[in-house]
Structure 1
């Protein structure tokens, strides 16, 4: 009997991929920032700031010291530890030679970066000073304190030039004007953002952000400023009496830091929701998003966007350095260096070069599925690098095995380590809407296969199994509450006398059904 070969259908992993935005020039540009290099400090990273001059060192303020890192070697180049209590908000002057920082000691200290010596100590605040900046003329220092005051200090005489005490709560955000040394900005936990003119010692503008203000900055023109607090970023027009021009709400937790990048054409925001978002200044639309493993407290980016440093609450600094593009020097390479100048390298007027078709590389899991080595195929996609970074590949293979009704065969051949990896995948992705249906169906098969062997599991796998039980119980409780809420909303809509043309159709569910998540109950 002749053997009939059927075409092999590749595993479809596009079904489980995140809904990706259109691949733009911004996405390509920011994705060239290399893999993160992580550095662990002893406390939360309060503030990060890059030196404006080469070699673009950056200062990380954490605990009772300021660490100055070399972004190329990723090691500490200088350590400024002349603080008795916590240091805050260290920033460089534009020449990179001086650095100013606040502290829990209620003083502001000015350092020489090269020698690390304390040059000035500005005393006068009665509370911790969380943010410090140099003014436009570089001869004065701005400080913002928990004593609800904003002060301006003269570096040469070490004296206080101006004081503003109009906030009613902590002042932990501010910025000097980029066009005038006498205009300064402050943001407080009283929700107010205030603009001061130091020539007349008065407040010239006050706006209400609506949440405790965590960060502020001026746009390069000096006529607009941006405030961040709560989950919102707001853009204000100074010359129109503080008119609100834009309200950006792209984060779901507190926004902690604002920065300008790409020659001031892009705005960056960092948040406790573990995201750094990048906006186009012209439209304030998100053009790229970068994820981090923990809540982001501080962020800074170097000149020309070469290095991105992000500080997190657990004391980890993530350093991403841009991959340097290979620059074409114009010099002819190899044998072509002897070609005449009038002949363009790489072209010919006689021959037609047909480019070689690149062979399509088949994924390893598909090769193993083709050979009916199901356990090995499943083990391939349960590797940590795949299941963590590309869970859609793991889900796609599991779904393909469910479709072929061979998942139970693949599970039987798994060793203890891979069983643990499978349980971890279930626990991590149970609540992910892309994978919920697949995880539930696969977990049902898992119970059928290993129900009699659960007590023989290793201690770690038994703990993972019980954790999966707990996750399922919590998910079922959430589903019950969602169903109750859906019923309550339906009753309210049914009783409301509204125009049907402006409301939802009655046959459209208000909340996506999640009843499938109730199907599984595991008994040890």
Structure 2
């Protein structure tokens, strides 16, 4: 008897067997890494942040284009450092030279300007585009040339010193909106257009045709080379696609995790800052749906996702892996900085390198101290500790308490008095397991029997409960037939139950007839010689 009571006690509280269970979300080490870039919004700028670009040299300041302005922000304080207002129209696509001394940017006026970062004065103006320029890029190492593309569907390769055009690359049929320089060769670059194509250009090849072309399938909003130089990533529509350039432009994977247009992508790194072999590269993408997603293109899976309260237009990641910036459509930049070795040293106030300092001696706790008896309450377990978890106190409902006391009929009436059919079915299943359900039914008085029949009339035809309740309804009618005949209220319940069952039978017959008709039509269509060439469906 004691063993039986122990086994029954473990089943409380009784739960509906059809209720789904939810899985607890776990935070991975990589998610913690990306969450360490705690974004802090800057002061609202004039208009949308059309582009973000980091300087390749220390301290890796970054430039943001908005309205007719290029603003340079400090990588240390994340505050505006300089403002360049040398544009007559909306500025676009800022790009630092490899030494970080010059910055080039396009504009809706069609002019590409090269500016000095320190003096903020324009040094060169490259005129040649007849429509707004949305792409300006310096090669990775070359300091003398840059390439640009605009809404005139033309890509131009420039000699910056002489302000002359070296090549005019024609091939796109719609707006040229993005591009990137090859990390392997300064003579190669890629451009993306609203004609759905991405073209690979080599300025050493004679003529103005591209050396390779891939079709993204949607207007291309951004395109980048991946660090190896053999792969490229394209963004357009709600997808980011990976292409193998060395393999002839083969599509490797399409990531379609965003709900709206992907507006910008960049490459980020995780792992230790020292040692190239320890670094792992990720693609960071932002979209008009307000999400920033991190994509591991080695394993083809999303490793992190973060939501922002506005549509996102641009993203940048610093070369030292310490700063991530995201630009929005409402003029806010979410700049997040991660603590590195340099930050830790600066926060120690200059004590690093001055020799070890004596640690203050800890006060020894003795039994005469009150805190002695409360020691260890806030200690966290170490790796080798065996944890004994305190059992959580479960709050039992009324029918669970009655079942625990083996008051079966009262438990059934308590569940029937409630408004939750799942609890009633759970109690009935428990009583079936204890072989007490029919005994409880036979002991119900007239009012309690009315509760049971009313419940059966409402829920017997529900598919999830029908397997149990239809059989129980038949048993109740057989067992309590005399009581039902003597009460008009109970007779009314039985009539309603009969009406519900008959209606369910008619519905099932109608569905069966429809299914038989569909199956017959399919069989006729599959027979040879029954389909004619003139049919239209």
TM bucket (normalised to shorter chain) is 0.5 to 0.7
User: 3-state SS of the aligned residue for 1:52?
Assistant: coil
Q: Counterparts of 1:109-124 in structure 2 under 5 Å?
A: 109-124=113-128
Deviation at 1:99, TM superposition (A): 0.3
Deviation at 1:305, TM superposition (A): 2.5
Deviation at 1:292, TM superposition (A): 0.7
Q: 1:167 aligns with which of 146, 169, 172?
A: 172
Task: Count residues with an aligned counterpart.
Answer: 343
Equivalent position of 2:359 in the other structure: 334
Equivalent position of 1:227 in the other structure: 234
Q: Counterparts of 1:41-120 in structure 2 under 5 Å?
A: 41-120=45-124
User: Does residue 253 of structure 1 match 2:260?
Assistant: yes
Change (3 A) 1:496 1:170: farther
Matched residues in 1 for 2:516 and 2:130: separation?
56
Gaps of 5+ in 2: 1-18, 270-278, 363-373, 381-418, 421-510, 523-537
8 Å Cα contact 1:89/1:131 also seen in 2 = yes
User: Does residue 308 of structure 1 match 2:304?
Assistant: no
* 1:49-95 Cα deviation digits (max 9, x unpaired): 11122222111100001011123333221110001111111111121
8 Å Cα contact 2:317/2:324 also seen in 1 = yes
Equivalent position of 1:144 in the other structure: 149
Equivalent position of 1:196 in the other structure: 201
8 Å Cα contact 1:39/1:318 also seen in 2 = no
Matched residues in 1 for 2:198 and 2:515: separation?
41
Matched residues in 2 for 1:234 and 1:498: separation?
43
Equivalent position of 1:358 in the other structure: 378
Matched residues in 1 for 2:67 and 2:310: separation?
18
8 Å Cα contact 2:39/2:334 also seen in 1 = no
Deviation at 1:34, TM superposition (A): 2.2
Matched residues in 2 for 1:25 and 1:151: separation?
44
Change (3 A) 1:29 1:283: same
Matched residues in 1 for 2:520 and 2:288: separation?
42
Matched residues in 1 for 2:300 and 2:119: separation?
42
Q: 2:247 aligns with which of 226, 240, 245?
A: 240
Matched residues in 1 for 2:294 and 2:516: separation?
39
8 Å Cα contact 2:132/2:150 also seen in 1 = yes
Change (3 A) 1:35 1:60: closer
Deviation at 1:264, TM superposition (A): 6.0
* 1:366-424 Cα deviation digits (max 9, x unpaired): xxxxxxxxxxxxxxxxxxxxxxxxxxxxxxxxxxxx99xxxxxxxxxxxxxxxxxxxxx
Q: Counterparts of 1:257-296 in structure 2 under 5 Å?
A: 257-262=264-269, 265-296=281-312
Equivalent position of 1:514 in the other structure: none
TM-score normalized by structure 1? 0.60
Deviation at 1:494, TM superposition (A): 9.3
TM-score normalized by structure 2? 0.59
Q: Post-superposition, which runs of at least 4 consecutive aligned residues in structure 1 deviate over 3 A?
A: 17-22, 323-333, 491-499
Deviation at 1:495, TM superposition (A): 4.0
Deviation at 1:324, TM superposition (A): 5.0
Matched residues in 1 for 2:267 and 2:170: separation?
29
Matched residues in 2 for 1:168 and 1:129: separation?
15
8 Å Cα contact 1:40/1:315 also seen in 2 = yes
Change (3 A) 1:498 1:248: farther
User: Does residue 215 of structure 1 match 2:222?
Assistant: yes
Deviation at 1:155, TM superposition (A): 1.6
Matched residues in 1 for 2:247 and 2:259: separation?
30
8 Å Cα contact 1:236/1:246 also seen in 2 = yes
Matched residues in 2 for 1:294 and 1:89: separation?
21
Change (3 A) 1:355 1:246: farther
Deviation at 1:355, TM superposition (A): 7.7
Matched residues in 1 for 2:109 and 2:23: separation?
49
Gaps of 5+ in 1: 1-14, 338-353, 361-401, 404-487, 500-524
Q: 1:125 aligns with which of 125, 129, 139?
A: 129
Change (3 A) 1:492 1:320: farther
* 1:206-226 Cα deviation digits (max 9, x unpaired): 111000000001112211111
* 1:467-486 Cα deviation digits (max 9, x unpaired): xxxxxxxxxxxxxxxxxxxx
Change (3 A) 1:241 1:498: farther
Equivalent position of 1:504 in the other structure: none
Deviation at 1:359, TM superposition (A): 8.2
Deviation at 1:313, TM superposition (A): 0.6
Matched residues in 1 for 2:268 and 2:39: separation?
19
Matched residues in 2 for 1:26 and 1:492: separation?
51
Deviation at 1:176, TM superposition (A): 1.1
Q: 2:183 aligns with which of 178, 187, 190?
A: 178
Deviation at 1:336, TM superposition (A): 7.0
Higher gyration radius (CA): 2
